[in-house]
Amino acid sequence: MNDFRQKFPFLVQLEACHFVGLYKKLYQIRLHFPDYPTTNNHRVSVFCGNVPITLEPEVSSIKDVDEFVQKLIDSLDSGREGRPTSKPCSTGEPSTILTNLALELLSIQRQYGCEVAFDKHIMHVEFSNFDGRRNHSLTLNRTGAELFKVAQHTLPELAVSELFKRQTTLQRHVQVFLDLLDQLEEFYNNLNTIDDLCYVVLPATIDTKTVYRIFKYDRKVFLKVSLHPLQPAAIDVGFFGPTKQVAKLREIYDERQDDWDADCNVYTNLLRIFNVIAFPMRPAANHEESQQLGSELGEDSCGICMNYQDGYDRVPVISCDNEQCNLIFHIHCLKEWFATQRESKKIFTISIGNCPYCTHKISSSFDEMLVLLS
Q: How far apart are CA 322 and CA 220, in angstroms?
A: 11
CATH assignment of 112-182, among 3.30.457.30, 2.160.10.10, 3.40.50.300, 2.60.120.560: 3.30.457.30
One of 3.40.1710.10, 3.20.20.210, 3.50.50.60, 3.10.110.20 is the CATH number of 187-272, namely 3.10.110.20
- The CA distances from residue 87 to 60, 82, 285, 298, in Å, are 18, 14, 64, 78
CATH homologous superfamily, domain 295-371: Zinc/RING finger domain, C3HC4 (zinc finger) (3.30.40.10)
- Name the DSSP class of 302: B
- Equal CATH topology for 112-182 and 295-371: no
Q: What is the pLDDT of residue 210?
A: 92
> Domain ranges in the chain?
1-84, 112-182, 187-272, 295-371
Give the whole-angstrom CA distance, residue 253 versus residue 255.
5
* 155-159: average pLDDT: 91
Identify the DSSP state of 55: P
Query: How many angstroms from the chain centroid is the CA of residue 196?
Result: 18
- Residue 31 β-bridge partners: 19, 44
Q: For position 228, what pLDDT does the model report? A: 93
pLDDT at 333: 85
Task: Look at residue 362 in the predicted model and tell me its pLDDT.
Answer: 75
Q: What is the CA radius of gyration of the chain?
A: 31
- The pLDDT of residue 161 is above 70: yes
- Judged against a pLDDT cut of 70, whether residue 286 lies above it is answered with no
pLDDT mean over 81-104: 60
Which band of pLDDT confidence, cut at 50, 70 and 90, is reported for residue 337? confident
pLDDT for 295 equals: 45
Percent of the chain with pLDDT over 70: 85
243-280 pLDDT, tens digit each: 788 889 999 999 998 889 989 999 999 999 999 999 99
Instruction: Indicate if the alpha-carbon torsion angle 275, 277, 282, 285 is positive or negative.
Output: positive
